[in-house]
Each structure stands twice: as structure tokens, then as C-alpha cells.
Structure 1
Amino acid sequence: MTASSPPPPAARPSPVDALLVVDVQSAFVTGPGAVPDAARLIDRTADLLARARKEGAFVVHLQNDGPPGAEDEPHTPGWELHHPVAPGPTEVVVRKPFDDGFRETPLGAVLSGAGVRSVAVCGVMSEMCVQATARTALERDYRVVVPFDAHATQDVPAVPGVCEAVPAAVASRVAAYALGSDAEVTVAAAAVTFGPPAVD
């Protein structure tokens, strides 16, 4: 098996009760700045969203606020979320100033208030905002599923005399595996199932 080939099939995971859609913003999935194979990412995240909504899971759209002049500077076209939001008691947008969706945001309180105990994390970029958010979720004792085909990043440029370029697909795989054995990273998006948060 090569580094970019799909992982072996895993047992179908038990349902998760929340979906975190990380930074699926226009700058990162459309136009010249889009991640490689953005169409696949859009398809997988749209499917996850549809099924999470249908099954009553809690949905959070994380939206990165880039600095002035960045492609995701707030209130510019690139900052806009690609997927339409269905705002309501079980679907919210959380804006964030850092890679980690929990850092200096209400995300932790929002998930706790909704009774969430498990999350599926998808979006961009694999080794930055997706990994940072998933890692903090693990540290906070959430069960974390990171579908291998529902997060993406850019190619990593070569460094002359040090290493060759790293294809985006390889960078994404390494980023997910770096989360360690507590994260579920060998499941495909289509195999993720959802349910509503448990009520104590």
C-alpha cells in the first residue's frame, strides 16, 4: 500500500452526535487557491452535512477569520462559507482567529451545552485547523472521527537539498495519523453515521 492509497476497510463506527465542518470557505475550495481535488472534498462534506442534519446530530461550521489582506479576511468573498448554513438550535457557525477551533471561541461551551460527546471532523487544512481542532477535542475527552476522504490540504513545497515536494494527499494522511491511536482516522466519510446528542 502506498502512502496515498486508501487505508484498509475499518469496522463501521458507532454513530457520532456532532459534525465539525472546519473552514470550508470559498478561498480554500474554489478558484486558484483551492485545495487539490476540491470537488471531492465538497462532495464528501456536503454528504456528511446532509446526513448529520437528517439524523439530528449537532452541526458546527467553523469559519476562520484571516488577518487583513488574507484570502479569508472577514467579509471578503473568500471568507464566505461554501456550504449553506441551516441556522437553528442544532446548527451554528463559530468564528475563530486561530487554527484550533476551541481556542478563544465558544466552541467548547457550545458542544457541552448541546450534550455532545463525539465529533466527526472534516474540512481544511488537514495539518493545521483540522488537526488542531481534532487534537483539542481528544484532549477534552470527546470521541473523535476524522474521515480520511473528507479533509484536505495543499501540496507541501520542496525544500532544495532537504526534501522533495509532498503531495497534498500524503500530507493529509500524515496529519491525521499524527493524532495518534485515540482518533478514528481509517474510516471513509460514507461510513460515518450520526445520531442526536444523548439527553441526560
Structure 2
Amino acid sequence: MTSSRAMPVEALLVVDVQSAAVSGDRAVPEAARLVDRTADLIARARRRGALVVHIQNDGAPGAGDEAHTPGWELHHPVEAGPTEAVIRKTQDDGFDGTALGGLLTDRGIRALAICGVMSEMCVQATARTALALGYRVVMPHDAHATHDIPAAPGISDAVPAAAVSRVAEWALGSEAEVVAHAADVAFTVPPRCR
């Protein structure tokens, strides 16, 4: 479902916004835009008292986001406190083998926004599980990104990153709420933090 403004959400999931994804030669196209939009979402969520969850991928040895390397570091600073958390993962899905589900349940979260990288991989996998678990999911179109898909001889031409991101949203079906801009996402305090 596409809408112009979403009802408030109680949590923000910032998926894999790590140095390797937003800086240097491995950065996604329009990384500066992504960093700007995710920073805005984080700041507004903090001001409203919403839960902010930074999901950090522990990449395989040799990967740009290999654990405990410069590319693995979270791009946005984490503010210590009861309304901010870091969840580390080793799979695309932020729920798979992590404490994310328990954290959201403990806070009484029912509605969340998801942003970050890569649109068709970790962002979509996390959103798909959130939907399956009954969460209301809002995806700001301008706050997730990915890379171009290279051409595959005999199969297809290259697919631009913007098209890949849009298809990732579309593939979630009508249950996900896609809004055009990060500024269209509103936040509220989670029920168990009021």
C-alpha cells in the first residue's frame, strides 16, 4: 500500500547502515541521501521517545562488513539509554537468530518503520518477517537503498539501484505501507514506555 503520510510508529529499525555500505568504493549509489534520511528518522524518533534499533550485520571474513573491521562500524552514533539498542545479526533477516523479536515484544511495539540497506536483501527480509509476525510496517521510499544489479549475459541488462529498491517494496505486497519520504513517518512513544 502506498500512502502520503503514515500513522505514527513506535519503533525505527535502521538496518545495516554501516561504514562499508555508505562510504568508500563499496557505498550504495546516493549514499549521502540515505545517510541524511536515516539521520533525520533517528533524530525524530529520539525526540518523540520511540524505540530506535540499529541492526548491525556481522559479515563473513573478507566482506566489507566483516565484524570488528572499519567497514562493520555503524555509521550513526548510538545513544545509550532505554530507548536505543543495537542488534547484531549474521543473516539477512534481522529477526533470524537475534533478540529483535523479544525486544519489540517487551516494549509493546506493534508498528515500526524500516530503513537502511540493502533494499532487496536485509531490509526486505526484515520487513517480511515483521509483517508475518503481525507488525504494522512502514517503509519510507527515500530511506533505503541498494546497488545496481549487473547485467547477466543472455538473461538481462543491468538493473538500476532505484528500480531494485522499488521492486523490493512492491514484493512485500499490500500489507507494507510505503511512504514517499522519510519526513512522512511520524513517531510515538511505545506503549510500555509511556
TM superposition score normalised by structure 2:
0.97
Shift of residue 115, structure 1, vs aligned partner: 1.1
CA displacement, residues 51-71 of structure 1 (integer Å, 9 cap, x when unaligned): 000000001000000011111
Looking at structure 2, the residues matched to 67 and 156 of structure 1 have their Cα atoms a distance apart, in angstroms, of: 21
Structure 1: which amino acid aligns with 2:101?
G
Report how many aligned residue pairs link the two structures.
Answer: 193
Does the CA-based 8 Å contact 2:49-2:189 persist in structure 1? Answer: yes
1:3-24 CA-partner distances (Å, limit 9, x unpaired): xxxxx8x342110000000000
Partner of 1:86: 79
Matching residue of 1:115: 108
Identity among equivalent pairs (%): 67
Question: Residue 153 of structure 1 corresponds to which residue in structure 2?
Answer: 146
Q: Does 1:67 align with 2:24?
A: no
Shift of 1:187: 3.4
2:73 maps to a residue whose letter is E
Aligned with 1:181 (options 169, 174, 192): 174
Note if 1:22 corresponds to 2:15: yes
Stretches of structure 2 that go unaligned for 5 or more consecutive residues are none
Of the candidates 26, 31, 37, which is equivalent to residue 30 of structure 2? 37
- Give the match's secondary structure for 2:179: coil
For residues 118 and 135 of structure 2, the distance between their equivalents in structure 1, rounded to whole angstroms, comes to 21
Shift of residue 180, structure 1, vs aligned partner: 0.4
Q: Structure 1, unaligned stretches of length 5 or more?
A: 1-7
Distance 1:59 1:21 in 2: 8
SS of equivalent residue, structure 2 residue 178: coil
Aligned to 1:78, what secondary structure does the other structure show?
Answer: helix
User: 1:53 corresponds to which letter in structure 2?
Assistant: R
Show the 5 A alignment for 1:95-174: 95-174=88-167
